[in-house]
Every structure is written in C-alpha cells, then in structure tokens.
Structure 1
Amino acid sequence: MELPQWFVPASCLVILICISTLFLRRDGKRKNLPPGPPGLPIIGHLHLMKPPIHRTLQNLSEKYGPVMFLRFGTLKVLVVSSPSAVEECFIKNDIVFANRPVTLAGKHLNYDYTTVGFSPYGDHWRGLRRLINQELFSVSRLAMLSDVRVDEVKILVKQLFERSGGSWTKVEVRHRFVDLIFDVMLRMISGKRYYGTDVVSKEATDFKNMMDEIFELINPAAEDLFPVLQRFDLFGVRKRMKQVAKKQDSFLQNLIDEHRRKRSSSSNNNGANQEKKTMTLIEVMLSLQETDPVFYCDTTIKGIAAAVVAAGTETSASTMEWILALLLNHPEVMEKLKAEIDTHVGKDRFIDDSDISKLTYLQSVVLETLRLYPAGALGVPHSNSEDCIIGGYHVPKGTMLMVNLWVLHKDPKHWKDATKFMPERFQNGSSEGYSLIPFGAGRRQCPGANLAKRIMALTIGSLVQAFEWKKIGDKQINMMEGDGLTLARLEPLVALIRPRQEMTPLLSGL
C-alpha cells in the first residue's frame, strides 16, 4: 500500500516532539543550568534568532548575563561574552572544550571529520596541528614564503594602477581581496596561482565556484539541529555536500598527482630535490609520506590544503574590506598611517614584508579593526567532551560553545570608548588578554593568525602607500554588517582611488 504524501513529514514532526520533550525533561532535572530565555517545544530558541544573530545574542546577554544557555532544536548551546567566562572555558576547561560540534559539513566537506578544523581532539588532531605549525605557519616558514605575499600584493597594486589610468576611478575591492588571498594560499600550498591579470582559465572559474558553494554549505544545516532529519535529506543539503566534496577532492587530488609526477620526473632525470625553503606544502608532505605513508596519506594532504584555503580566505578578505571602510570614514587615521609609511619606508620603494614590524600604527589599525569587526563574530564553535562548570553553572556534555566576540570586544568595562575606532589604544603594545581574541583561544585557536595579520598589514599598507582614497559622495560609508559565519559587510565597499603623484614613477615600473 502506498503511503500518503503527508506521512513522512507528519512522522518526523511527531518524532521531533517526542525527542524535544525528552530533552527538555532531562535537562529540567539538572540543577543550575545557565540562565536563558523561555524556549518552545521542538525548536527551542530558534524563533528568537533574528539576523544578525550576534546582535540578537548581544540583546539577550544584556538581560540574562555573560553566561547564557540556549537550545537550537535538539542542540544545547552555551553563549559566553565576558573575559572571565572565556578564560574559564579555555584555561580551566581547555581540554574539555577542545572538540568541535558534529555537523554534516564536518562529515561530508571535511573528509569525515579528519581535517584540522573538524577532527576530534586527540592524537590525529595533534599530528595535523603539529604539521601545519611547523611546515606552514612557523616563523621560519613564513619568512621563507614572504616573497609570495609581496609578489601577490604587487600584482593587486598593478591591477588597480592600470585600472585607474592616473585619475579618480571607482573600484570594488572585495573580490580583489578574495582573489589575492586565494592566490597566496594556493601558491604556499601548491605553487600555483589562479587569479590576476595574467591568469584567466576555466580551472580558475570552476575552483572559485566550488569554493563559493563550500562557504555556503559550511553554515549550520537544519539536519545539524534536528539530526532525525538526516536520514531523509528533505532539503537536499547532504546531496549537495557530497557533490561539491567530490569536486573538491578531484581538484586537490590533481594537485597532488601533478606534484608526484614532477617528483618522479626529477628523480628519473637525476635532478636534485628542491631545497626545503622553496618547497610547497604539498611537496613537503609528499616527502614526509615516504617515511610515514599511513599518517601522511593523500587524504591527509587534501584535508590540510582544503582547511587552509577555506579558513583563511573569506575571513582575511572581509577584514581588509572593513579596514578600508574605517579608514575612509576616518581620513585623519588614513593620513596618520600614510605619514608613518612615508617615514619608515619612503616613496622610492614598495613596502616589504620585513617593514611590517616597524609600522606599529599600521599594526594597530589592523588590531582595532579586528576588535570592532572580528572576522567571525561568534568565533568558531567548540563542544565539551564532558560535563563542566562555567561561571558557577552546570554545562552538560555535548553543549556547543559560542563566544560572542561582538560583545566581548566592545565591553565598556575593558575598553575605553568601546565603540569608537581608535587605533591609538594599541600603541603602548599592551596585551588585552581574553578581552581581545579575534583568532580564538585555547588549544584550537587559529594557527594562521600571524600569517593573516601579515597579509592584511602588507596589503593595506601597500594600498595606502600607492593610492589616494576617498568616499563616493559626502555621506559616511554604511558600516552595518551582514549575517553569516564570516562577518561580511552588508553592502560591498565601493570607493574612489587614484595613484599618489609621488608614487607614479614607481607604479609605472610594475
């Protein structure tokens, strides 16, 4: 007998009601859960989550405090927004919160939870973390690859110079920043670049489309909040994830195979291996694969490459867009930054990676932007592996931890004139501890923080050195943010640029 069309949805609804009731009763028996607003059956507090969510959570925390308990469907959620609560999570309970929530994206887009971003805390994750810290993000490795960053920034400057034609020209910067970061990451990983004036190919277009789809799908899915729905794939999310994962795997495997063929050809021709300082990350890992083929298998290599590109691109590009928007709204800061660059670098050469340490005001501009507009307003979610106590409240095992950086970074108890753009606040070089954690905290804080800050400082410094910038019209630029895992601008930044007259001879030689 054929079942009626309403049978499956109705059955799912009944199951969800039963599960929701069971969870609510079980949690209700627990004493001293953190405070939070009243929830509804099945959906919990999802009905309260109006975009942008970080602002909604800010409003709720003003009423219920800096340690707040919510429920998104069947998922238990802890939201913290004070330095003391953050410190308690990542110092006293560091190992407890060293895991990630179980999600569809972790399974289907991250090689079944084996990438550094989604792998459970343990020996495998420690091995991955050690590898990328040594072979990609170490001080020596970043220094070896500084030419890659400088080269890509000069390509961007050249593009803008050629577009301007020497007069005021309208430019939209976001897609240029995305292309820049993509190429920096891909060159570090594989030695290849896909964007720029001299690179236009179907492969580049396909790669960009694939990454756009991954960024879309990595957001929490309905099935993550209601796991009972996963077996039905009612919204087709799992199918889409599998399709794009197949494309990603094929793309990355091609990069590995290409490197493997080059190594084989070099060996057959009795060619010497490249020195480590010139080796890409894939080349390094293929060398390690010879001594430990189990751990350094192709899946590990692909997982690391995918994680590095996905984690660093949107975040850095969005932050640089915010920096320029703030500078345009605060021309006095722009002029002060320009003066610092002219003093320490001059006008007869471009900024180099080695100059960044001397440009303290430039570094302060980057930090102040990360404070006001953290790349991930709610950080990267954590999950506790056992029951724990935060702020004197009981937090049950399997709770997703969200740190509201939007609130934390603007706490008036820790920041004078907390909502104002004041790079000078960082000029004394003091550390703000857990009141400023744009790259996370604890064992799983972002390992690429130093690389990200270097790229952003080099890029913004180069653009301020080479060009005059101004707003279109007299109105202040809209500084409202959109919604999503990455804190992007609600409106893409469009500005006017023209080459600085004194820099034109140098720009003409690019």
Structure 2
Amino acid sequence: MELIIAFTVPLLAGIFTFLLFVYYVIGLSKSGHGESRKSRSPPEAAGAWPLIGHLHLLKGPELPHKTLENLPDKYGPVFSIRLGVHRALIVNTWEIAKECFTINDRVISVRPRAIALEHLTYNYAMFGFSPYGEYWRELRKIATLQLLSNHRLAMLNSVIESEVKVSIKGVYDLCVKNKNDSKKTVLEMKKWFGGLTLNLILRVMVGK
C-alpha cells in the first residue's frame, strides 16, 4: 500500500504540471491569433500567472486600487487584466467610462452566466447580476424612475435628516457619559457609518 502511494503522488503531480503547462501554452497561442483581433483588443498587463492571472499583483503590499492606479502609466487609459481565467477591462478616464455607459451600455450590461450566480440570485432575478434583456431593462427603468429619481430622493430627505440627527445625538450622549465618568470617548467611524447606513435602509424599506 505504501509503495502504491509513493508512486501515485509523484505521478499525479507530474500529470497536473503537464496539464498546467499545456493550458498555459494554449492560452499563449490563442492570445497571438490574428493581427486584426490583436489590434482591436486593449493591451494586457504583463505578469499574468496561469490559472490565477493577475490576482497575485493585487495582494499587496499596496492596496488593489493603488496598484490599478499605477498600471495606466505603463499601459495607457484602457487595458485589461486577468482575474483568474477571465479578462477584465480597466478604464482610467471619465471620458471613456462615460462612453462605456452611454454609447456602449448594451455591451457593458451583459453579465457572464455562471451556475453559482444562477442559484444564488434565483435564476438571475437580482438586478446587479441579470443579463441584458427585457427583464433587465424593466428593472433599470424602475430603479431609475422610481427608486433613484430626484423626486424620490427628495421625499426621503426627512428620513435621512432624522437618522443623521439620531446618530449624532447618540455620539453626543456617549461623549457626555464618558465625560462624567472621566473617560475618553473613542468612536469607530466605520462601525458608526455602517449603523447609520443600515438604519437608513431599514427606514426606507419598512418605515422603522
């Protein structure tokens, strides 16, 4: 039994390494096919690894958005990276971002289909993960005209002001209590804003 395991483990490791090498070679050959396709595609950042792509560049020591901020200096305002085996387009100027969401919004609105998303979003019923189509257009219309319109936000001004006043009053009461107890007041702003946001969402949705 030990002899079989001793031969099996190196064999599986060798097979995995070979498959990984074949995948990497096929990926390189596909990326080099066709000058017209290559000329139309945005430049891809260097340093991609097999299977994980550029994910290793986003782990640090700088924050991911800082790393992406430095890449346009080398590759231009539009380039692509690989998040795993999928390519992602990075846009670094507001002019191109505006063009993506106005002229080319139909292309941008297409969402990749995956089995996990299909089950987690109840067959793509969630607006953020729905593929482009009649259902998605209807949801966007409802969100634009009903939920996020200027009139709707103006109607919620009283709710926003009320919750902000309650949150600030809570901070004030905490400061007064700690002052009476001769203690310093330490406030975690991330937790405070998180509570304020959650209270606003609940007031808007259920009224309490």
TM-score (norm 1): 0.33
Match of 1:49 in 2: 58
Match of 2:137 in 1: 126
Alpha-carbon distance, 1:28 to partner: 1.2
CA distance in 2, matches of 1:104, 1:155: 43
1:34 pairs with 2:42: yes
Match of 2:193 in 1: 177
CA distance in 1, matches of 2:119, 2:94: 34
Aligned partners of 1:21 and 1:42 also within 8 Å? no
Higher helix share: 2
Alpha-carbon distance, 1:10 to partner: 7.1
Q: Give the SS at the match of 2:73.
A: helix
Q: Give the SS at the match of 1:170.
A: coil
Alignment equivalent of 1:97, drawn from 105, 108, 114: 108
User: How much identity, in percent, do the aligned residues show?
Assistant: 37
Which runs of structure 2 are paired with 1:393-408 in the superposition (5 Å)?
none
Alignment equivalent of 2:70, drawn from 59, 77, 80: 59
Question: What is the letter of the counterpart of residue 185 of structure 2?
Answer: T
Alignment equivalent of 1:165, drawn from 164, 173, 176: 176
Match of 1:454 in 2: none
In structure 2, do the counterparts of structure 1 residues 8 and 153 end up closer, same or farther at CA, with 3 Å as the change threshold?
Answer: farther
Aligned partners of 1:50 and 1:56 also within 8 Å? no
In structure 2, do the counterparts of structure 1 residues 83 and 152 end up closer, same or farther at CA, with 3 Å as the change threshold?
Answer: closer
In structure 2, do the counterparts of structure 1 residues 137 and 94 end up closer, same or farther at CA, with 3 Å as the change threshold?
Answer: closer
Structure 1, unmatched stretches of 5+, are 193-510
CA distance in 2, matches of 1:80, 1:48: 18
TM-score (norm 2): 0.73
Question: What is the letter of the counterpart of residue 27 of structure 1?
Answer: S
Tell me the alpha carbon deviations over residues 230-260 of structure 1, each in whole angstroms, 9 at most, x when there is no partner.
xxxxxxxxxxxxxxxxxxxxxxxxxxxxxxx
1:190 pairs with 2:175: no
Equivalenced residue count is: 190
Alignment equivalent of 1:69, drawn from 80, 87, 95: 80
1:141 pairs with 2:152: yes
Q: Give the SS at the match of 2:151.
A: helix
Alpha-carbon distance, 1:160 to partner: 1.0
Question: What is the letter of the counterpart of residue 204 of structure 2?
Answer: M
Tell me the alpha carbon deviations over residues 71-113 of structure 1, each in whole angstroms, 9 at most, x when there is no partner.
2331112222123432443343221112234467634443332
In structure 2, do the counterparts of structure 1 residues 13 and 131 end up closer, same or farther at CA, with 3 Å as the change threshold?
Answer: farther
What is the aligned-residue RMSD (CA, Å)? 3.1
Match of 1:363 in 2: none
Look at both structures and tell me which one has the larger radius of gyration over its CA atoms. Answer: 2
